[in-house]
A and B are shown apart, each in its own frame.
Chain A
Amino acid sequence: MPASSPAHKPRRKANKGDIDKLRAPAFPLAAFLWPARTSLSQWEVLPLVLMVVGLFRWAAGLWGYSGFQRPPMFGDYEAQRHWMELTTHLPISQWYFHDLEWWGLDYPPLTAYHSWVLGKVGSLINPEWFALVSSRGSHDPTLKIFMRATVIVSEYLVFIPAVTVFVRRFSRLSDISIWTSNLALVAILMQPSLILIDHVHFQYNTVMLGFVVASMSSMLAERYMWAAVLFVAALGFKQMALYYAFSVFSYLLGRCITTGINPTRLVGIALVTIVSFGVLVLPLALGALYDKQRGIDPSPELKLQGAAPFIANYISPDHFYYPIFEQLGQMVHRVFPFARGLFEDKVANFWCTLNTVIKLRNYPVHLLQKAALVATFASILPPNIILFLRPRKSALPPAFAATAWGFFLFSWQVHEKSVLLPLMPMTLLLAGKHGMSGEVRAWVGFANLLGAWTMFPLLHRVDLRVPYAVFTLLWAYLLGLPPTSWSAPFQEGQSQVVQWGTALLQGTFYATMAAWHVVEAFVEPPPGKPDLWVVANVGVGAAGFFICYLWCIWRLLRETGFVPKGAKVKTKTQ
């Protein structure tokens, strides 16, 4: 730890002249928390808030999950359950080799360890849930309850504490009252896409996102090595955290260089990062050696599959350290599937949209890969250079969001659920300066509603229209966003032109979204083009996300002072 780190700042009194306290509630969420405004201590409000968001999560979980009663492969739920099955039954060296056709493990080690723990706990309750092979595709209703509970418990252990602490620190940074930061907390925790994907569709994104938020929160507290450790944990849970890696890197590097050269800190961060990666893969490496000693073959079914032949070219299988390389090589091979296509299914990013105009299938794969690489770099370099040059704390969320948008829009192998990654830091902006005021609320809300909307085809496929409607409309209602209220862009702070511009731009998108829902529900797509509605969804989504990307960059420029704050710039989103 750097000695200069003022880890515990004296608690500042909330600004007495806080404008939020004087007005009437501007949107329903503020009205709900209005009674807590005056004297309720945050220790009374916080448990209540956590109980309510927990209730909504659990109630959402009563709905079906992805792949429910959909043989032969089922879905993400079966994948997660299967990993619990294989990690608890197989020796560690076989985890990344076992039956790759049936949801082979393709997440980094921390997910595997997490599955192992959950599998062990679950086996205590009912061993049949995770019996090897025979439990595949299990639809035991009690198992579902257990699985839902594991998502919630994992979230309450990682994501929710991280967000709570982050919101506190971030809002203290700009002298925002506790009450306003509570509003932001509720808004962030009620984010519809997150609930829909994790608690309805079924995944553990919140664990990874929670580590990222915790890492950002450590950056706010100026504990850079902790930030590095936590980010490694995020990467170790889900490789998707790489979307943020550049921002983490630029911020930490900037903090070591541009704000005064500090080589000890730089070396410290580098060492800590390497050590944490080491610790992360240590069980896997040791397990590989141990199993080799016991004479257990990592892949008894098939000799030399996956990455093994490639590694065998360089290291002789006779070396004592060969199993480690074989194991880690296989892990990396599983985690980063370069062999897959440019995009999967229909996803609202640049490539998928472009595909509707030009058939990308006709181009060679390596060319597309290069194009994706160049486009991604072009989109993420600006925010990261800005962050490196002026690594300010308040610039963290917009920089993270812009980088993640860049990745989402332009990178290789994007899944529609990846939209959660840019949405998370962007939603954190609500806790910042003027976070709950009109402009930020309108944009953050726009991105979130659009994000949930692009996931509708995914949810629709598994009959989850009702939770989709309830959670998005509830969130829109709470934050005073369309379709329940059109007033958000018209609150204080900006010039008339910008306000009207924002309202018109977003209004167009909202109207399109609404119209799309009507069309999708009542009009059959023309023969020969069964995917037309989905493609339309993707196109509109990609355009909207690109605007969000630009807005995040604009926001970043303002936070870092490259553009003076409060300047009336009309060319906001052009």
Chain B
Amino acid sequence: MRPDRDAYDQTIDARCSKSTDFEVHRNWLAITNSLPLSQWYYEKTSEWTLDYPPFFAYFEWLLAHVARLVDPAMVRVYNLGHDSWETVYFQRFSVIVTELLLVYALQMFVDSSPLQSKRAAQVAALSVLLSPGLLIIDHIHFQYNGFMYGILVASLVLARSKSTLLQSGLVFGALLCFKHIYLYLAPAYFVFLLRAYCLSARSIFRIKILNCVKLGLGLGGIFAAAFGPFALMGQIPQLLGRLFPFSRGLCHAYWAPNVWALYSLADRVLIYCECADCCSRDSTANQGTSLTNVLVVAPKLGLPLKAEALNSVTRGLVGDTAFAVLPEVTPRVCFALTLLFQVLPLIKLFRRPTWENFIGAVTLCGYASFLFGWHVHEKAILLVIIPFSLIALRDRRHLSAFRPLIVAGHVSLFPLIFTSAEFPIKTIYTVFWLVLFLISLDRMAPASNQPRVFLLDRFSTLYIAVSIPLIAYTSLFHQVIFGKRLEFLPLMFTSSYTAIGVVGSWVGYMVVYYTC
């Protein structure tokens, strides 16, 4: 019954302000509708070029057929920034309609749950459906994550039964052709399908040839359908160049709450410590001078300072991050770290390929790529939260790792919406969701049959409590006290607070994963 409330809320939100992503998707509608296939990945009238895999382009192509009937001006490439009310209604409505797939997938999840945990599964499903993350990203900011997470959930649920393992893999393959960010989760799928589908349950040395062929052919067919036309035209390098723009920086924006946010925070702190010296000699007033008096942690560390990097991160703009004190981070390092922390949980998955372990491994793959990945966007936190939701209610230990994650993950999305008209919606809705689901998850989670490992509960309760003054400060008091000055400060607080939460919940969940 609840989806209706959600949908109404979202319908109303159609009036909200539009982000760049709104124009991005309008532009893609225009590209796919008015240009031949061969030019889709070459067109660059707008700076928002098509950089999603082909299935998503096909999806936009289908949408564009309806869009043309609604407002023909919408689907012209040169019509940059077109936002007639028909366009707005159509685009917003298409998000709501396609999200029905998520509803269906979650219903599959509830149906697949055993009887004694049915109610818990319903609560978990509702928490995903009503997620403020989806509301903020899809319905206010504008993206089509709803239906793609629907596909992901469907694939995860299909993996629950032995007989639908193949479908699970194929659905995931198709999902990869919609949005390649899901590649982050692919290692878990690979190991799980390998062990549970391609290898015999009794011995890892007995290969089920038929299954391998079925999976291989299926995936081959899907990828051929997606990339085939472009491969025939010899456009694969161009396509891949669009999909994986390695020229982008390490931090997409200052506030994606991962390890690199903490790293750059440490860097900033070190700058101020260094500056305590320079400023006494040189009165170059940079934003930090007022802080230097406070942050006299290490008077002089003797590290070399890169002057051009000093002011780059503090504004939180999209772009390259440069570190002033700490060593630079290369994509190679990111990749190695990500892979390392993905492989660790996969070992356990390989040895015991149960569905619970599989979901856990998917979650941990999401964690690893979010925490250590190159150019991670804060929106990617849903990649962790949504799979985790499916198993958060297994017992209280899982829940206590889940709680700081949902607080941190959703608070970290706040800077995405910065207009004051939408401010109450994102804050109150998130607080509402957190109160509702922290209460109901708490009631639903059964006691664990294993003792607690450490004081995770106390930590997470304290952590959640801190969020209240933090939200109040960043959204209200900072403006009252400082006005427009020190704009980076609330962003930095949000970023470090949420990064601590995500990292903490990751460590907590790693412990739970290995001990249960």
The chain A residues found within 8 Å of chain B, CB to CB, are 28, 31-32, 35, 40, 44, 47-48, 51-52, 54-56, 58-60, 62-63, 141-142, 145, 149, 466-467, 470, 474, 477
Question: Given the complex, which residues of B lie within 8 Å of A35, measured CB to CB?
Answer: 440
- Residue B277 lies at the interface, judged by CB distance under 8 Å to chain A: no
Whether the pair A48, B12 counts as a contact (CB closer than 8 A) is: no
Give A52's nearest chain B residue, CB to CB: B432
A-B contacts counted at CB < 8 A amount to: 57
How many whole Å from B509's CB to the nearest CB in chain A?
27
Whether the pair A62, B5 counts as a contact (CB closer than 8 A) is: no
Whether the pair A59, B5 counts as a contact (CB closer than 8 A) is: no
Q: A48-B432, A55-B429, A145-B420 are in contact. Are A470 and B2 (CB under 8 A)?
A: no
- Residue B1 lies at the interface, judged by CB distance under 8 Å to chain A: yes
Which residue of B13, B431, B439, B440 is within 8 Å of A59 (Cβ)?
A: B13
Give A44's nearest chain B residue, CB to CB: B439
The CA of A142 and the CA of B423, in the complex, are separated in Å by: 12
How many whole Å from A442's CB to the nearest CB in chain B?
21
* CB<8 Å pairs between A and B, sample of 24: A31-B1, A32-B5, A44-B435, A48-B436, A51-B429, A51-B431, A51-B432, A54-B424, A55-B425, A55-B428, A56-B9, A58-B424, A58-B425, A59-B13, A62-B12, A62-B13, A62-B421, A63-B15, A141-B421, A145-B420, A145-B421, A149-B424, A467-B12, A470-B11
The CA of A58 and the CA of B12, in the complex, are separated in Å by: 10
- Residue B4 lies at the interface, judged by CB distance under 8 Å to chain A: yes
Whether the pair B435, A142 counts as a contact (CB closer than 8 A) is: no
Most buried by B among A54, A59, A62: A59
B1-31 to A contact mask, C-beta < 8 Å, 1/0: 1101100110111011000000000000000
The CA of A35 and the CA of B443, in the complex, are separated in Å by: 11
Whether the pair A62, B432 counts as a contact (CB closer than 8 A) is: no
How many whole Å from A49's CB to the nearest CB in chain B?
10
Question: Given the complex, which residues of B lie within 8 Å of A31, measured CB to CB?
Answer: 1
Whether the pair B420, A142 counts as a contact (CB closer than 8 A) is: yes
Q: Which 5 A-B pairs have the closest CB atoms?
A: A59-B12, A62-B15, A51-B432, A31-B1, A58-B424
The CA of A483 and the CA of B396, in the complex, are separated in Å by: 44
The CA of A145 and the CA of B428, in the complex, are separated in Å by: 16
B419-462 to A contact mask, C-beta < 8 Å, 1/0: 01100110011011001100110000000000000000000000
Give B431's nearest chain A residue, CB to CB: A51
How many whole Å from B183's CB to the nearest CB in chain A?
36
The CA of A31 and the CA of B5, in the complex, are separated in Å by: 12
Which residue of B1, B8, B431, B440 is within 8 Å of A470 (Cβ)?
A: B8
The CA of A35 and the CA of B437, in the complex, are separated in Å by: 12
Which residue of B420, B421, B428 is within 8 Å of A54 (Cβ)?
A: B428
Question: Given the complex, which residues of A lie within 8 Å of B429, measured CB to CB?
Answer: 51, 55
Give A148's nearest chain B residue, CB to CB: B421
Question: Given the complex, which residues of A lie within 8 Å of B428, measured CB to CB?
Answer: 51, 54-55, 58
The CA of A28 and the CA of B2, in the complex, are separated in Å by: 9
Give B5's nearest chain A residue, CB to CB: A32
Question: Given the complex, which residues of A lie within 8 Å of B439, measured CB to CB?
Answer: 40, 44
Knowing that A32-B5, A48-B432, A470-B12 touch, tell me 10 more A-B residue pairs with CB under 8 angstroms. Answer: A28-B1, A28-B4, A32-B1, A40-B439, A47-B435, A51-B428, A51-B429, A52-B432, A59-B12, A60-B12
Question: Given the complex, which residues of B lie within 8 Å of A62, measured CB to CB?
Answer: 12-13, 15-16, 421
Give A144's nearest chain B residue, CB to CB: B421
The CA of A48 and the CA of B370, in the complex, are separated in Å by: 32
How many whole Å from A42's CB to the nearest CB in chain B?
13
Give B432's nearest chain A residue, CB to CB: A51
Question: Given the complex, which residues of A lie within 8 Å of B421, measured CB to CB?
Answer: 62, 141, 145
The CA of A32 and the CA of B6, in the complex, are separated in Å by: 12
Give A60's nearest chain B residue, CB to CB: B12
The CA of A56 and the CA of B432, in the complex, are separated in Å by: 13
Whether the pair B431, A55 counts as a contact (CB closer than 8 A) is: no
The CA of A416 and the CA of B254, in the complex, are separated in Å by: 52
Whether the pair A55, B1 counts as a contact (CB closer than 8 A) is: no
Q: Which of B3-61 contact A (CB under 8 A)?
A: 4-5, 8-9, 11-13, 15-16
The CA of A96 and the CA of B428, in the complex, are separated in Å by: 39
Q: A63-B15, A470-B12, A477-B4 are in contact. Are A48 and B424 (CB under 8 A)?
A: no
The CA of A35 and the CA of B2, in the complex, are separated in Å by: 12
The CA of A88 and the CA of B147, in the complex, are separated in Å by: 52
Give A467's nearest chain B residue, CB to CB: B12
Question: Given the complex, which residues of B lie within 8 Å of A470, measured CB to CB?
Answer: 8, 11-12
How many whole Å from A282's CB to the nearest CB in chain B?
33
The CA of A516 and the CA of B196, in the complex, are separated in Å by: 62
